[in-house]
Structure 1
Amino acid sequence: MRAYYRAKGEETAGIAYRARMHCFFAELEPSIPVTEQNLADRVRYIMRSKIFDDAELERLRREAIPSSNELATAGDEAPQATDQLPRVEAAMDLPVVGDSDDDEMVSHELEQMRSILEEAILETRSMPLENRPRLPRIPLSKRNRAVVRALNPMLATYLEASRDLCETDSVLFGAAVAACRIIGAKLPMAGRATKQSSAIPAWRKRIEDRIAKARALIGRLISFRSGNNRPRVVRTVRMAFAGTNISLSQPDITQKLTERIDDLKQKIAAWGKRIRRFIERSRRFNQNRLFQSDQNRLYKSL
């Protein structure tokens, strides 16, 4: 925790302190091998599990970050205490070197984020609305918030240069895509949402299967009514009248077969109307969306 507070300093966000914390911990405990990520995980566990109370954490923070008066006093007494505290002075010299390296690393990361943002905005400007990928839900975390805070100032130049709402929308969408790429969230391929929307829904497949089975049953019933007494046909007819008091040997079986066939035909007609209503609605929806994005393409398709 001393290495954490010393590396963190007055920062409230960002992940650039990890390298400094690792250097400080290596200076304090050189015999314990640990990585930056493992060290950050241990600090997070200590903070969440409340192993130390607030007073103990405050004491560790004061020991790691001395006040300005203490620094001045230590500076005045440094010539006298040089022989007594050599390791402390060596540790105090580390932040100067570490800060310069971390500043270079942060500037490099910002330049990389800026290039990703510019590339994403250029892609979204030339991309039709129906081909835009669906943005995933990004979990809330300190790292993700730091990425968003770093991207916000970069958007000022693009938003000031935007001429209309469409261009502003493309800039904001490109920034969201860039944030997902920087964080590492998975983005679907371009045009995947359109393919998913045009796919056959599961309920339609079930209805189509029912229609196919009903038509096959109608064919067997008509065949039995015409005098086909094969075992497979008879077995199918008995299954069609299962759960009823109708017997195949009763005299009015022909009338019962006709009623059953008419009932199945009515069900097929109702199922077909439902599918046709869905197809018509989907066609109108796609035409309206295409009219909003590309009218010339819509008129050519008519």
Structure 2
Amino acid sequence: MLVTYLEASRDLCETDSILFGAALATCRIIGAKVSTAGRATGHSSAIPAWRRRTEERIAKARALIGRLICFRSGNNRPRIVRTVRMAFAGTNVSLSQPDITQKLTERIDDLKQRIAAWGNRIRRYTERSTRFNQKRLFQSDQKRLYESLERPMVSGTGPAPNQADTVAFWRGLWSEPVNHSEGPWTEVVASECAGITPMDPVIITPDDVAEAVRRAPNWKSPGLDGLHHYWLKGFMVCHSVLARQFQEALNQKSLPSLFTTGITHLGS
């Protein structure tokens, strides 16, 4: 079926849609979970559920510690008292007993120990995940690994940039026409390059496509089309069609917007 559809494809955009549909159909047949919402702009969260639950527990424990400290300092507002009573629910502790200050201190220390234990669990997971990612990156791209190790960690502590100011800044750089005056060196370069023999025409073959796909990581983040390299490796019948259509795009010196459009996220 895929061969029939690919033979009728007129350009790279149609071929991409056909391959995405084939990948989606395959996932549905084998029962794999697929989210098409992220095909254009979605980004799935890589934070595991247990970590989110643990971080919520830490936040609640810290809030409770703050309420207990306020009550121990003499703050008897109804909301504070209600929270303290809930903290000692199921125990024989009464807020009017003489040693309530000691009980509050013990409860605060217990919560601090729990927070430390939860934080250590998250820290161990983060360190283990970092080591795993570094080992995998070392096998696939050592240059990127060394760059990430040498690059200093920068954390934004200042206020976030204003959206209007950011748009105005980049619009002033890219929206205004600029007239460039070529210097005399361009004539020198042109005269020196006049005797260079032009390179032979590039011929893209199915083997070239297969080799390029073979070296690509299976599940690397896809582009706007949402199609991973895994499917280009599995659907080998598309290599000849892609080679022909890429050759046509090269000869026409034009690529569809699918290959020239992306989403940029401003970093801190």
TM value normalised by structure 1: 0.39
The structure with the greater share of residues assigned to helix is 1
Bigger-Rg structure (1/2): 1
Q: Which has the higher contact order (CA 8 A, sep 6+)?
A: 2
TM-score by length of 2: 0.43
